[in-house]
Every structure is written in structure tokens, then in C-alpha cells.
Structure 1
Amino acid sequence: MEEFLDFILRFGNLNQHQIELISKKAEIIRLQKDDYFWEAGKPINYVGFTKKGILRVYYYNNQGEEITRYFIAEELLILYGANAESNYVPSEYLQAIETSELVVFSKSDWKEISETIIGWDGIVQKIVAKQQREKLERRSPLVEQDAQLRYLDFLQKFPNLVNRIPLSYIASYLGITQSTLSRVRKNMN
């Protein structure tokens, strides 16, 4: 819980009563490797924060191939839809790559926090803006780079993740085949 509160306090101020409300509403869950935080076609019931571990967002394209869109590592807020009241049903899966711990809030508790803490929505908007900017910075260059540059860029942007994520997921994220990624890695050594 400390990690979540420290994270939130980077984006705004909270008094002790507000911190106590957040702490009271929070729950810690553990996802084992391959467990889902959410699944395509099923309503999302929680807002989450990755305390420990890595998750990946993926979907199936129209050829039935699994495509990894992005990775969620420690200290990221996992939101859904436009707001906590939305009944967003994802078309993607959010799955733990390794055993992970998350701080979670039910939709109703998140809504209560939002309605009780003045300035909460502003804090969340700052977090969302930062995370969206980072996601775009990571994804945008991939379109114009060759396989080796994509992988080098991945190593630079995710230096602590490369040994924690299966190569098949990295290749999917980079938009290349696993054999191409293996060749790139071999040529770099």
C-alpha cells in the first residue's frame, strides 16, 4: 500500500484523513503467472496499481494471432474506460507475465474516493496523461524502425524487463517474428 500512496503523492497532496480513506478502500491481490486481471468480453470491476510484477495487454487479430500491445510494470495505474462509472468491456486481455501484486479498488470504492477527495480527479488526470505520453513515446518509433532498431529501442526503454519477459511476447510487441528477434539478438552478440 505504501508504494501506491507514495506514487499518488507525486502527483498531488493528500491529508491524513484522505490517506486513511484510500488505505481503507484498497485491497492487495496476487496474480500468479498467466492469471488475468481482465479478459476480453468481460466487464472490468477493478482499478489497479502494479505494486510488483509485469502484466501484458494483448489481443487476437483477425488471423487469430496473439498481438502484445504493451507491458505494465511496477508503479503503473491500471484504469479502464472514460471514468469509474463506465461499464467498459475490453476487447483485450490483461495477463500477469510473472507473479504480481496489485493494489486494487472496486469500481464503487474508486467512485467514492473520487467523490470524497477534492482534487482526486485532477491527480488521476495527471497520472493518466503521464502514462499515455510514455506509452506513445514507446510505441510511436516502432513503426518506422527495422527489427534491430526496434529491439535496441526496447532495451533502452525497458532495461529492467528484457530478462523478465518471454521473447515471444517481446517479438509480438515489436511486430516481428520470434525467429527474427533471435537473429537480431545473435547478431548483436
Structure 2
Amino acid sequence: MIKNAPTAIAKFATMDEMVEYVLQFGNLNRQQIDVIAEKAQKLELKKEDYFSEAGKIAKQVGFIVEGILRICYYDNKGQEITKYFIDENNFVVDLHSFDDKVPSSEYVQAVTDCQLLVFSQQNWEEIANTIVGWENIVNKIVKKSLIQKIERRSPLVSEDATARYRAFMEKYPQLLNRIPLSYLASYLGITQSSLSRIRKNIR
């Protein structure tokens, strides 16, 4: 069941986490940071709300201040597949849909209650037009994100289910107790009962 994302938006008191993240990829002066802060708005999502939906054009870029989102889709058998999870201090956007203004093929859904800083398409473009070097910063962030996607997916191709779960435990210990077993099983490509057996055997 698809739920509509909340529309109530208010300003965040602080942007420290996002600014600290962005400064890993380039330099910004105080005035430029203020420009970004002026364009940012707060979005709160409840668990299972959608940040963006398949069949619709993605219209905002988000930065996760608190919570976990997942990227998922339905296969040709109608089964829901979780591709990967995104947690705090990361940007989230369906880039192909957002940039090219085409309907998305995936859902971005809140796994937990979430707080995000969001930028509309217009505000995002205004930042790019105002801040020299912003596009270079964004390109570096996108490149890092693509590398992370490959790292998330590649172990799922070559390892057995137990090894995949162990790898997830080691790489994302902060997510383990925050993600429903059904989502984690879908991400690992196994049934929930199989995941339960693996967890028992590891304990």
C-alpha cells in the first residue's frame, strides 16, 4: 500500500551535518553556506512513507539527518525487491528521474521515521547557478554514491546467503537492529525464514 509523503515542511535549526558532509568534496565560504541554508527545507517522513515513487518524476534532493531509507522496486512477478539502504549523513535522490525529468522506476521509502533536509528542483538549480564550483562538488558526491552502490551489490552476486549476511553485519552494524527482517531478506535475495535460520546459526 502506497502512502503519500507528508507535505508539512519547516526550516531546520541547523545544517551542520550536511555542511560537514559537503565540505569533504570541496570548499564553501560562509556566504555560500548561507545560500544553501536559505534553500533548504525540513521534511519529516513517517516509517513506510515514500520520499519518491515509481511512475512519478523525482522532484527533490534530500539529505538524511536522521533515519534510514531504502530503494526498492517490483519485479515482473510483482515481488518487492530491496536494492539497498541509505542512512544518516547521505544524500538521496533518484538522479536519472530528477535530472532528466522522466518517471522513476523505483521507490524511495522510509524504513524508520526520518528527518531530511530537502531541496526542490528549482532551489537545487538556483544553488548551482549561484555557487561557483557547486556542480563539481555534486559530481564528486555522485561518484562516491555510485561506488557505494557497487560495493553494496557486488557481494550479493558471488557469495552464499550466510556469507552475504555476515558481510552485511560487518559493514553495516549500525543498521542491523533498525531494519525489518523482511527488508533485509529482500536485500540479501533470500526468504525471511532463511534469514531467521542463518541468524540463529550465527548466534
- TM norm structure 1: 0.96
Shift of 1:9: 1.0
Give the partner amino acid of 2:60: Y
Residue in structure 2 matched with residue 78 of structure 1 by the alignment: 92
1:47 counterpart = 2:61:
yes
Count matched residues: 189
Q: CA deviation at 1:86?
A: 2.5
Q: Work out the CA distance in 2 between the residues paired with 1:124 and 1:80.
A: 14
SS where residue 44 of structure 2 aligns?
strand
Over 3 Å counting, the alpha-carbon distance change for 1:67 and 1:83 in structure 2 is closer
Between stretches 155-164 and 86-95, larger displacement belongs to 86-95
Aligned residue number for residue 171 of structure 1: 185
Paired amino acid for 2:65: K
For residues 127-166 of structure 1, give each alpha carbon's deviation from its aligned partner in whole angstroms, at most 9, with x where no partner exists: 1111111221121011111110000011111110000000
**Matched residues in 2 for 1:184 and 1:94: separation?**
28
Alignment of 1:7-46 (within 5 A): 7-46=21-60
Offset at 1:79? Answer: 2.8
Corresponding residue for residue 114 of structure 1: 128
Could you say which residue in structure 1 is the equivalent of 2:108? 94
CA RMSD after TM alignment:
1.2
- Quick check: 2:41–2:117 contact (8 Å CA) kept in 1? yes
Q: Secondary structure at the match of 1:163?
A: helix
Q: How far off is 1:45 after superposition? A: 1.1
SS in 2 for 1:67: strand
2:151: which partner in 1? 137
* Compared CA separation, residues 84 and 180, structure 1 to 2 (3 A): closer
**1:103 aligned partner:** 117
Structure 1 unmatched ranges of 5 or more = none
CA deviations over 1:39-92 (Å, ceiling 9, x no partner):
111111101111110011111111111100010101111133359552132111
Which whole-Å deviations, capped at 9, do the CAs of 1:15-40 have from their partners, x for residues lacking one?
11111110000001110111110011
- Say if 1:59 and 1:85 are closer, same or farther in 2 by CA, change over 3 A: closer
2:71 corresponds to: 57
Percent identity, aligned pairs only?
53
AA at the equivalent of 2:92: I
**d(CA) in 2 for partners of 1:6, 1:84:** 24
